[in-house]
Structure 1
Amino acid sequence: MKKLCTLFALLVLVLQVQAQTGNIKGIVRTSDGEPAEFVNVGLKGTSLGATADKNGNYHFKNIQPGRYTLVATLVGLQPQEQLVVLLANETLEVNFTLQETAQKLQEVVISANSNKYRQPNLSSSLRLRTPVLETPQNIQVVTNAVLADQQVFDMLEGVTRNVSGVTRLEHWDNYARINMRGSQIAAFRNGMNVQMPWGPLAEDMSVVDRIEFVKGPAGFMMANGEPSGFYNIVTKKPTGLTKGEAAFTLGSFQTYRATLDLDGKLSSNGKLLYRLNLMGQQKGSHRDYEYNNRYTVAPVLKYLFSDNTSLTAEYTYQFSEMSAIGSNYAFSPNGYADLPRNFTTAEPTLAPTKIHDQSIFVTLQHQLDEDWQMTGQLAYLNYDQEGSSLWPTAFDEAKTGILKRGTSIWDALGQSKQGQFFVNGEVKTGFITHRLLAGVDMYHKDYFADWSQSFELVGTEPFNIYNPVYGKVPAASLPVFDRSSDLRSRGVRYNQGSAGIYVQDELRMFQDRLRVTLAARQTSAQTVNPYSGITNDKAFTPRVGVSYSINPAVSVYGLYDQAFVPQAGANFEGKSFDPITGSNTEAGIKKDWFNGTWNSTLAVYRITKNNVLTADPNNPNFSIQLGQTQTQGAEFDVRGNITKDLNLIFNYAYTDSKISKDTNPDRVGTAQPGISKHISNTWLSYQVPYAPLKGLGLSLGYQWQKDRSSWYVFDGTQNSLPDYFRLDGAVTWQKDKVRVSLNVNNLLDEYLYSGAPYGEYFYWQTEAGRNARLNVAYKF
């Protein structure tokens, strides 16, 4: 309440002085009269800019009166300028006509490659209409161009290197577990929370337009205020341009991959648009008998009822056939890194695990008027897995390396139904512009899993980790799982339903230089757990933020947000888990450099979380609920065009995450599991601008982590992990529409791994040694 009173007092003060402003708007067209989408219109000598939409419209609001030069630019086109004089309370209409035809403009857009590492605006699925620079929160956007340059295949690979403080923890090859600010963050897709207990299938990058990492709670989203944040996968949508790209990749470990991206119109009047992405992949591993073969089909249709109304329907089907889950783990009673990095417990005759992942999103958008828009979205997701997992049952007591290998059934079915409706827009009351957002969202998630059948892999001779011999398990000894009954009847069920309503008002004052955000969310949730029964939770969570533009290129901000996250499950004794509650306090400074060609963000934060789950060290298959954790740290991100031919991503994060309250006093003050205190990443990409080497590109990047705690650690000493350093590089050549890329990962051929102690032994996952991927892409 003290914080709210202080903010309201500030509002009273700023209302005393307000200057009158004006607006500038217009339409950009090509010489044949067609709208010129994607053209940038800027006010010369400032960092203010706008991008023409699909109808060629651009708009500057609340501009201080004065003399301005408007510049319409697009890489590959000659800039156009117009001198204007703006009076107070005036709305100027300034139109541009480019000399190029619509077809020529499309060719320019396709070939443009400027500022490919920086995205100044958020996707509409995040519901905010405020640019990243003015948002009172640390939000980082990873563009599709970055993913392509690094040859990232899916969320299990190097996406996390592009954002400060983000790491990927151990995985089972079917879903990505991403940590940030001290805990796991939720997976979102197009603004929908798609997180399941063990899912969804890690998204393939062939369907991804961008990935938005939102740090800290975001009660206006369907995150129910997860205090660490979430990542939002934004899938590719039709653009209205007729274009396409085909790409082929060959790589180490018998990797073969092909993708096709088609974008265009299905009707002569341009109202029915489509996007189709196809991917097929065969990928091995540095471990024998380990593979992950996948294909993806992702069609999208968009119908434009009018200039103001559109309906988009997208379907994504991902299929994965992989080796038995868990084959990527190594085990030893004598410590980490005790075995070669190609060690595996898999057998060549084990049946594969197969996953069918389907999703349908239907989105209706309607522009009510120039300032107001409403959006409705429905989604259905289905995750169907049939397979098995590997995990040891015991080592011999003499620690000679004799390992009993266990395998169990792992069938899973996850179904999620979701809906959301929200409106956002602007209204002016006196001296204040209100940027409003209000909406409702709800979801219902069912997850069924069967782990009930387990066997021991019995070979003709004992399996010794120090001298493994494979192919000695007779066919008669291989597990045969009983799937005669439906998974819903033989599996355990986790069920959760949630509904929420929220409202947010961003009050913009002093020609939009000062922005105060006041928001609140009411959430109710019901959780059904097979071990603890039914729990009902509800919470009211406020949000207060302040952002101030020192000048058009620099803003400072502060944020206070509360969190509420219902939790499924129960501990070893069958007691259900209480919901996570807590708060986040954050402050930062953001700056655009050299007219926005690159930007930087510096943020500090403190997150307090109650009722956090972690693995039970006495019962590793269960979790326990800690009393309280506190995470605080600092983050620094830089991304964009440092010079015309040099792109840079650099980030550093300091994370201090400790247990602050617990029923066991010995654990208080120890590091939280799975935390790296220091994380830094860099990716530098340079394009040679001079003949005869023009078209040649060189890239180099590292990933560095220091003071790593393991996943099950409670002491931070002998069980901690060593420092991590990985160096990657790439060489590219581009001419016209052809691009050839050679990426080499782990250039120093380091033995890299992550893991944890597990009872009387240790487990860890190794990364591949030096490996390469060669990609050839053609745009048309």
Structure 2
Amino acid sequence: MKKLLFMALAMLLFPLLTKAQFTLSGTVSDAKQPLSGASVKLKSAQRGATANRSGEYQFKNLQPGNYTLVVSYIGYETQEKTINLTSNLTLDVALAPSAFLADEVIVRGTRATEKSATTYRNLSKEEISENNFGQDLPFLLNNTPGVVVSSDAGSGIGYTSIRVRGSDATRVNVTVNGIPYNDSESQGSFWVNMPDFASSVENIQIQRGVGTSTNGAGAFGGSLNVQTSAPSRAAFAEINNTYGSFNTWKNTVKVGTGLINDKFSFDGRLSRIKSDGFIDRAASDLKSYFLSGAYHGKKDLLRINVFAGAETTYQAWNGIPESRLNGDLAGMQAYIDRNYLSEADANLLLNSGNRTYNSFTYKDQTDNYWQNHYQLLYARQFNEQFSFNGALHYTDGRGYYEEFRTGQKFSNYGLDNVNLGGSPLDRTDLIRRRWLDNDFYGVTYNFNYQPSNKLTFTLGGAYNEYAGKHFGEIIWAQYASNGQYGDHYYDNQGDKTDFNIFGKVIYSPTEKLSLFADLQYRNLNYEVAGTDKNLDLIDLNDKMNFFNPKVGATYFLTEQSNVYASYSVANKEPNRDDYVNATAGLFPKSERLNNVEAGYRFKNDRFNAGLNVYGMFYKDQIVVTGKINDVGESIRQNVPESYRIGVELDASYVLSRKLVLNANAALSRNKISDYIDYLYEYDDNGDISNTVETAYTTTDISFSPAAVLFAELAYKPVTGFAVALQNKYVGKQYLDNTQNESRKLAAYFVSNLRAAYDFTAFGVKNINLALLVNNVFDKKYESNGYTYGSIYQGITTTENFYFPQAGTNFLLSVNLKF
């Protein structure tokens, strides 16, 4: 019987096992030489290859049928060829030089290549577009190795955050066309100020670790190198609309002239995103535009970009108390008592949803900010060996957040106490606005020289200046005292200059070996003067000089595989709060990182994988210690030694013409060698009476999960339709550096489902219907939080706050291309 079953199964499988499979191969060249590194893709088969040093490519085990072969190379016209494969086929492709200089030259100087001995990942325009449903850019990067994202509103729209290898946004360098984007003072990147920016992005390179020299803030966890959209050859128009959970809307219109007389192009985008958010009242109203005009010469490229964003976001940055999250009535009552909540605030806490509570109820408790960017980009290819690209830029930002505050002391605002009916009064309810009005401008440049295939030089750098005005206003008070509308109760200005110059060289003494060196010098001057929001006088001036060397080597084992190793040094200045909130006598020091990377890469037409091990060893890393200033703000201090060591895997495998598996994993150990935590004891008057110090040895760095895993299975059953199941696991994270199990984010596993169908109808060039279902299995999880503690009457109390993410929710989009 078993034999009969085996024979029957064999007969059923025989047609599949014996189905003919063929090989497609050939060379890519121009009129003079093979084009090593040319990209060769089979569209419908989801397979890609890179031409080797002889310009050769090959696809094996192809089933008979029709294919579209796409061949591209920087500086050459892309070719598409449709073939009907019925036997082994040799197809040589000759590319013609482009009639104009490619936009890629704008970011070439700060990009890593396979010869750079750097750990990186490239995201194409297609990959970004597939996942762009209106969520902020960090959520589009969530599927890359070692990345963890979070959202204050719980839905990926509004205030969002990103961590790379456990390092927050202040340690992730971001450039847009080589121009720094990180805020000069806080050093963070606020994507809420650039809503729907992904719709104007051509590609992104994520470098993990120190990476190559770039402009702007130090890269202590990674770098995001963003290139904005390149021109389309043909005129186009697009209308993109998304609707989803929490009354979320995204409306985008894009237009482009294509190339006019092969020399000029103009592109534009207008976007609006609105969402009520998952958290109560955590609504966002976001608007943006992007305009670009360019002249394309054979040897010159001149581009002007003007883009802006405006946001109004209801504040949800207080998080949810642990007792409310867990539905603990006794815990909530204790929280009410020790925080002296009013009757209204207490009722709100007790009667809100466990996972949607927001402590703010004032109707205009919003963050409001406007940001305008102006970029003038120029590139010239002097000859085949020598090129230049540079940029002038200016960013204008202005905005405030508004707050309703109860029982505020007049003295905290520089106001006199009032006399009410003969009784002295020292407090009032009020509404305040805290403003930031800043300007950022400068120049960036890169000279690229390639005298031969064995040698490449890059000389680049930048000079940037920042001026930021910080001031506060009271726009209403229950008792006005001696204040006048429009008065500033605090005023200070931060000024920062940032100069850097770097030189890079890639030398290949043999066909198999490539050596890499990168030296950067950076000079900073930061000044702040005036009164801060606590009415304390500020007068600081810090000058820093950093030398950041990087060396590495890549050895090509075969045409398909290589190994690499590198050693890099990075230095990073403290941020504004580190200076302003510093304890008297403890002036913050700059941080230093020694980064070692080593890895193996393999790529053929079906399998693409990279395995990387790293060590990141810090001196004087700045961390939260538990100390607070006189208004309760966290104080960060340097710790002598800390480190991150880990291994990362990033792989993609084409199982068949219809099925692709993508996966990555990041496993790490993240430790502070010696750490002192501070806990304050309070007396009956609310004053600090004692400070308790606790020493820890080899303790976990906060917000650094030991495991971050991702897997995606993409299925394309028919032409134009694709569905993908995405799964993400993030290990537990501690809220502080004490490695205390009672202060942590629990590990979570979340699945998303994405489906899309492309077709043509009604004279529309392409119609795309797409659906994104987030958190398919309705996992209850929190991706961010914070903690603080205190001692009163001998009892230690810990306050944990969390940012829950939405349960099952969806976004449905309809995109039309004309």
TM-score by length of 1: 0.76
1:541 and 2:548 matched: yes
Amino acid in the other structure paired with 2:367: T
Output one character per residue of 1:70-122: Cα deviation in whole Å (capped at 9) or x when no partner. xx6546899999889xxxxxxxxx85699xxx9xxxxxxxxxxxxxxxxxx99
**Residue 343 (1) aligns with residue 357 (2):** yes
What amino acid sits opposite 2:732 in the alignment?
Answer: D
SS in 1 for 2:257: strand
Query: CA separation in 2, counterparts of 1:160 and 1:406?
Result: 41
1:395-448 alpha-carbon deviations (Å, 9 max, x no partner): xxxxxxxxx9998633222321131111112114xxx82111112212122333
CA displacement at 1:174 relative to structure 2: 5.9
**In the aligned structure 1, how far is the partner of 2:82 from the partner of 2:625?**
56
1:418 to 435, 442, 452: 442
Contact 1:516 1:547 (C-alpha < 8 Å) held by counterparts: yes
- CA–CA distance in structure 2, aligned partners of residues 41 and 181 of structure 1: 29
User: Which residue identity is paired with 1:626?
Assistant: V
Match of 1:634 in 2: 647
Matched with 2:624 is: 615
Structure 1 CA distance, aligned partners of 2:479 and 2:753? 45
Deviation, structure 1 residue 152: 4.2
In 2, are the aligned partners of 1:627 and 1:663 still within 8 Å (CA)? no
Q: Given residue 455 of structure 2, which amino acid in structure 1 is its aligned partner?
A: H
Q: 1:171 to 1:503 in 2, by over 3 A?
A: farther
Partner amino acid, structure 2, of 1:139: Y
Q: 2:464 is matched with which residue: 431, 438, 443?
A: 443
Cα distance change of structure 1 residues 585 and 265 upon mapping to structure 2, 3 Å threshold: same
Distance 1:194 1:778 in 2: 31
The structure-2 alpha-carbon separation of the partners of 1:259 and 1:124, relative to structure 1 and needing over 3 Å to count, comes to same
Shift of 1:776: 0.7
The CA distance in 1 between the partners of 2:555 and 2:110, in whole Å, is: 16
- Shift of residue 655, structure 1, vs aligned partner: 1.9
Residue in 2 that maps onto 1:195: 182
**Mapped partners of 1:482, 1:642: distance in 2:** 71
2:390 paired with 1:381: no
| Aligned mates of 1:772, 1:481 — CA distance in 2 | 49
Q: Which moved more, 1:409-418 or 1:669-678?
A: 409-418
Shift of 1:311: 0.4
The answer to whether the 8 A contact 1:312-1:364 is kept is yes
Hey, what's the Cα distance between the residues in 2 that align with 1:770 and 1:719? 26
Q: Deviations over 1:672-715 (max 9, x none)?
A: 111111001123322112xxxx54322111111113222x3423
Match of 1:217 among 207, 210, 222: 210
Q: Is the 8 A contact 1:219 1:520 kept in 2?
A: no
Check whether the contact 1:324–1:390 (CA below 8 A) recurs between aligned residues: no
Q: 1:261 aligns with which of 246, 251, 254?
A: 254
Aligned to 1:517: 516
Could you tell me which of 694, 710, 717 is aligned with 1:688? 717
**Counterparts in 2 of 1:543 and 1:643: CA distance versus 1, 3 Å:** same
Q: Name 2:385's counterpart in structure 1.
A: 371
Distance in 1, matches of 2:110 and 2:182, equals 25
> After superposition, what is the alpha-carbon deviation per residue over 1:495-514, rounded to whole angstroms, capped at 9, x for unaligned?
32111111111001323x21
Q: Deviations over 1:542-572 (max 9, x none)?
A: 2111011111111110000111112233213
Aligned-partner SS, 1:618: strand
Q: Which amino acid aligns with 1:706?
A: G
Partner of 2:312 in structure 1?
A: 321
Task: Give the residue type in structure 2 aligned to 1:776.
Answer: V
676, 682, 690: which one aligns with 2:705? 676
SS in 1 for 2:234: coil
SS at match of 1:145: helix
CA-CA distance at 1:352 after TM superposition: 3.4
In the superposition, relative to structure 1, how do residues 698 and 81 fare at CA in structure 2: closer, same or farther (>3 Å)? closer
CA distance in 2, matches of 1:709, 1:453: 38
- Residue in structure 1 matching 2:164, options 180, 203, 209: 180
From 373, 381, 399, the equivalent of 1:359 is 373
For residues 655-674 of structure 1, give each alpha carbon's deviation from its aligned partner in whole angstroms, at most 9, with x where no partner exists. 21111244678233111111
Alignment of 1:176-325 (within 5 A): 176-184=160-168, 185-196=172-183, 197=186, 199-202=189-192, 203=194, 204=196, 205-218=198-211, 220-223=213-216, 225-265=218-258, 267=260, 269-304=261-296, 306-324=297-315
The alpha-carbon distance between structure 1 residues 353 and 440, as it changes in their structure 2 partners (threshold 3 A), is: closer
1:89-168 alignment runs, 5 A limit: 95=94, 124-128=105-109, 132-155=113-136, 158-168=139-149
Shift in Å at residue 53 of structure 1?
A: 5.8
Q: CA deviation at 1:135?
A: 3.1
Letter in 2 for 1:644: R
Q: 1:460 corresponds to which residue?
A: none
Three-state SS of the structure 2 residue aligned to 1:670 is strand
Q: Counterparts of 1:640 and 1:536 in 2: how far apart (Å)?
A: 50
Counterpart AA for 2:239? A
The answer as to 2:743 corresponding to 1:743 is no
**Residues 524 and 734 (structure 1 numbering): CA distance in 2 closer, same or farther, change over 3 Å?**
same
Q: Which segments of 5 or more consecutive residues in structure 1 lack a partner in the other structure?
A: 1-21, 29-37, 59-71, 85-93, 103-120, 395-403, 456-474
- Quote the Cα distance in structure 1 between the aligned partners of 2:748 and 2:429: 29
Q: Distance in 2 between matches of 1:778 and 1:27?
A: 41
Return the alpha-carbon distance in structure 2 between the equivalents of residues 685 and 481 of structure 1: 62
CA distance in 1 between counterparts of 2:665 and 2:406 reads 37
Do the aligned residues in 2 keep the contact of 1:122 with 1:132 (CA within 8 Å)? no
Matches of 1:390 and 1:213, distance apart in 2: 40
Report whether the alignment pairs 1:777 with 2:815.
Answer: yes
- Equivalent residue of 1:182, what SS? coil
Contact 1:532 1:575 in 2 (8 A): no
SS in structure 2 of the partner of residue 183 of structure 1: coil
Partner of 2:673: 660
Give the direction of change, closer, same or farther, for the CA distance of 1:40–1:163 in structure 2 (3 Å limit). closer
Q: Which residue is 1:116 aligned to?
A: none
Q: Could you say if the C-alpha distance between residues 583 and 695 of structure 1 is closer, same or farther in structure 2, counting changes exceeding 3 Å?
A: same
CA distance 1:170–1:702, change in 2 (3 Å) = same
CA distance, structure 1, for counterparts of residue 105 and residue 148 of structure 2: 26
**Structure with max Cα Rg:** 2
CA, structure 1 residues 745+733, in 2 after alignment: closer, same or farther (shift >3 Å)? Answer: same
Q: Which residue of 1 aligns with 2:603?
A: 592
Question: What SS does the aligned partner of 2:141 have?
Answer: helix
2:140 aligned partner, one-letter code: V
